[in-house]
Amino acid sequence: MNIYLSLLYFLILTCSIGFARKPNIIFILADDLGYRELGSYGQKKIKTPFLDILAEEGMSFTRNYSGNAVCAPSRCVLMTGKHPGHAFIRNNGELKPEGQRPIPLSEITLAEILKKEGYITGVFGKWGLGGPGTEGDPMNQGFDRFFGYNCQRHAHSYYPDYLWSDRDRVPLQNNPPVPGHASLAEGADPQDPKSYEIFKGEDYASDRINEQALEFIIKNKNKPFFLYYPTLIPHVALHVPDEELKPYLKLKWNDPPFTRSQGYGYTPHFTPRAAYAAMITRMDRYVGRVINLIKETGLTDDTIVIFSSDNGTTHLKLEVDYDFFDSVGKLRGLKGSLYEGGIRVPLIVKWPGKIKAGSVSDQLTGFEDWIVTIHHLIGAESPLTAQQDGYNLTPSLFGDSNGSRPFLYREFSGYGGQQAVWLGKWKGIRQKMLRKGQNHDPLKIELWVTLLRARAIENQAFVIGVNRVGDDQGLEYGGRTMVITPKGEILTDGERMEGVIEAEIKSSSVKQWRKEFPAIKEILEAN
């Protein structure tokens, strides 16, 4: 009898564990939000009460890095779990008639992984990883629901004439729409606030997107869901409803108008400092609505909320006065740069009862980590593929040290070509690698060679580069064929000669070298 009861108890316990609800995942991604533009990260002028509460109730990270220095490649790292040296999207390339270069169907996205685990998946906001109907369309990348902007350039306007709902265009009540890039009317007085009235619309797209995100939560509250919420804010243009702007106008910040007189930038605004602050506060309000709805539906304890930004503050100072707001603090660089200010961004994670409230972590983290981390957090049943580069952050989230991360790697073919790598407390950075007029070192011009060397070091393996000629995605290929050692040294270089190259690789030396490699040695000693 006792044996029977014990067996019955075991079966009941097993079933309860097996059918326990997996936690909901909400990932909110700001657009161009700087490291110090939240109150919890030291901001003094911009009000972010809901995000500050999120930090009080969760864990804040001080050394978190976006996937890249600009929008599309950063989001690709987040969605695929591959660092920029492996990720498919390397820059903000656009395709006509609408959208950016698509990630291929062969890529495994976070949404596809969660969908396999029984999650309902939705994305609300700015996508930027493949135009409508392409392989990269979010409806072809594991999402059950999509509402927002497919194309990043289309998202430069907060008052467009349409948004996308799944695969259909949905008209908005902006007649005419307000362009993201425009100039003052001919003959308009730049010192007259009425000259800027033409840049105000009726139907604020971010409001519509927030409404749809809330509807998604309500509709799927009884099943595990993944809500990916890449907001537009605070990416320019400076568009914000008057009711959000007025409290900042009362502060009288001596706010010089942005007139676009120099011919570049986005739509003019009479009070750009107030507008920028109001936009971030508006985003904070959207976050508050999401958090409050989770509370109202009784899902707080069953929901992991993650907040971050796709890169640092924009470098367009006439529109966004980053010095006035101290947007990146003492960090060097802005959006487009692999210096700290361009890619070190806020990260707040909340899971009541699991993650200690008000905690802070200095763990080195990056966007590629989230596929691996979420996979562990939900207790996923299906194994991950070997293609992810991420680092499991679960120990850090639960208050334990993750130990020393082997490395963090970033590369960006834009803004002249850049590379950066973090090893322990050290960071190395290279710039202007593709600017031939400013760089006389051939190795710095041929980025492909540099990438091969970096990957050899990263994988602690020999790498063979086969001749390739031409250019692709901002990279130049000079036709060289070479063998590279795990130390990043070129063992044999055929340059551009015809014929066969030979390289002697002694397998006996590989094992010994790996033991001596600093990052590996550190891990072995720690264990």
E strands, 70-184, are 120-126, 145-149, 162-165, 168-171
Boundary residue ending a domain (397, 420, 453):
397
CATH number for the domain spanning 299: value is 3.40.720.10
Nearest C-alpha neighbor of 226 from the set 125, 135, 124 = 124
Q: Is cis: bond before 97, omega within 30 of 0?
A: yes
Query: Which pTM value belongs to this model?
Result: 0.81
Range of the domain at 329: 10-397
Quote the tokens at residue 473.
């995605």
Nearest C-alpha neighbor of 163 from the set 133, 130, 126, 120 = 126
Quote the tokens at residue 342.
């361009």
**Is residue 128 located within the same domain as residue 258?**
yes
Asked if residue 161 lies in contact with residue 177, where contact means CB atoms within 8 angstroms, the answer is yes
Spatial distance between the Cα atoms of 482 and 273, rounded to a whole number of angstroms? 52
Asked if residue 331 lies in contact with residue 409, where contact means CB atoms within 8 angstroms, the answer is no
**Is residue 187 located within the same domain as residue 315?**
yes
Q: Is cis: bond before 234, omega within 30 of 0?
A: yes
The amino acid present at 320, given as its one-letter code, is V
Q: Is residue 131 part of a domain?
A: yes
Q: Is residue 52 part of a domain?
A: yes
Burial readout 98-116 (b: 16 or more C-beta within 10 A, e: otherwise): bbbbbbeeebbbbbbbbbe
Spatial distance between the Cα atoms of 275 and 269, rounded to a whole number of angstroms? 8
Output DSSP code: residue 377.
H
Q: Is residue 323 part of a domain?
A: yes
**Is residue 206 located within the same domain as residue 229?**
yes
Give ∠ CA 352-355-360 in degrees, rounded to 5.
Answer: 130
β-bridge pairing 426-430 and 418-423:
antiparallel
Give, in order, the Cα–Cα distances in Å from 123 to each of 93, 145, 217, 445.
Answer: 21, 6, 12, 38
**Is residue 95 located within the same domain as residue 213?**
yes
**Is residue 393 located within the same domain as residue 441?**
no
**Is residue 180 located within the same domain as residue 152?**
yes
Give ∠ CA 92-95-100 in degrees, rounded to 5.
Answer: 40
Quote the tokens at residue 390.
């991420």
Alpha helical stretches, state H, 307-403:
322-325, 340-343, 369-377, 394-397
pLDDT, position 497: 52
Boundary residue ending a domain (397, 428, 453):
397
Q: Is residue 1 part of a domain?
A: no
Q: Is residue 3 part of a domain?
A: no
pLDDT, position 238: 98
Residue 423: phi and psi, rounded to 5, are: -130, 105
**Is residue 412 located within the same domain as residue 392?**
no
The amino acid present at 41, given as its one-letter code, is Y
pLDDT per residue of the chain (527 residues) written in tens, 0 to 9: 444 433 333 333 333 333 468 999 999 999 999 999 999 999 999 999 999 999 999 999 999 999 999 999 999 999 999 999 999 999 998 888 999 999 999 999 999 999 999 999 999 999 999 999 999 999 999 999 999 999 999 999 999 999 999 999 999 999 999 999 999 999 999 999 999 999 999 999 999 999 999 999 999 999 999 999 999 999 999 999 999 999 999 999 999 999 998 888 999 999 999 999 999 999 999 999 999 999 999 999 999 999 999 999 999 999 999 999 999 999 999 999 999 999 999 999 999 999 999 999 999 999 999 999 999 999 998 888 768 899 999 999 999 877 778 899 999 988 888 999 998 888 999 888 776 655 444 433 456 676 777 777 767 778 887 766 665 554 555 666 778 887 777 777 765 555 667 777 777 766 666 666 655 555 555 55
Q: Is residue 4 part of a domain?
A: no
**Is residue 316 located within the same domain as residue 429?**
no
Boundary residue ending a domain (340, 370, 397):
397
pLDDT, position 144: 98
Quote the tokens at residue 475.
């990279």
Helices (H) and strands (E) in the chain, counts: 15, 20
Give ∠ CA 155-156-159 in degrees, rounded to 5.
Answer: 80
**Is residue 390 located within the same domain as residue 478?**
no
Please tell me the total number of residues recorded for the chain in this structure.
527
Q: Is residue 26 part of a domain?
A: yes
Spatial distance between the Cα atoms of 480 and 477, rounded to a whole number of angstroms? 8
Exposed, middle or buried by CB within 10 Å (0-12, 13-18, 19+), for 407? middle
Quote the tokens at residue 299.
């899902």
Asked if residue 91 lies in contact with residue 418, where contact means CB atoms within 8 angstroms, the answer is no
Neighbours of 193 (CB within 10 A): 12
Q: Give every CB contact of residue 114 below 8 A, 6+ residues apart in sequence.
A: 25, 121, 142, 226, 374, 378
**Is residue 420 located within the same domain as residue 350?**
no
SS (H, E, C) 236-294: CCCCCCHHHHHHHHCCCCCCCCECCCCCCCCCCECCHHHHHHHHHHHHHHHHHHHHHHH
Nearest C-alpha neighbor of 258 from the set 194, 317, 216 = 317
Q: Give every CB contact of residue 439 below 8 A, 6+ residues apart in sequence.
A: 432, 433, 445
Spatial distance between the Cα atoms of 312 and 87, rounded to a whole number of angstroms? 20
Quote the tokens at residue 88.
């498919």
The amino acid present at 9, given as its one-letter code, is Y
pLDDT, position 11: 37
Spatial distance between the Cα atoms of 220 and 121, rounded to a whole number of angstroms? 10
Q: Give every CB contact of residue 264 below 8 A, 6+ residues apart in sequence.
A: none
pLDDT, position 444: 39
Number of domains making up the chain: 2
Q: Is residue 186 part of a domain?
A: yes
Q: Which residues sit opposite 306 in a β-bridge?
A: 27, 349
**Is residue 331 located within the same domain as residue 231?**
yes
Asked if residue 45 lies in contact with residue 321, where contact means CB atoms within 8 angstroms, the answer is no
Nearest C-alpha neighbor of 328 from the set 317, 338, 342 = 342
> Which helix (H) or strand (E) is 307 found in, with range?
strand 303-309
**Is residue 341 located within the same domain as residue 441?**
no
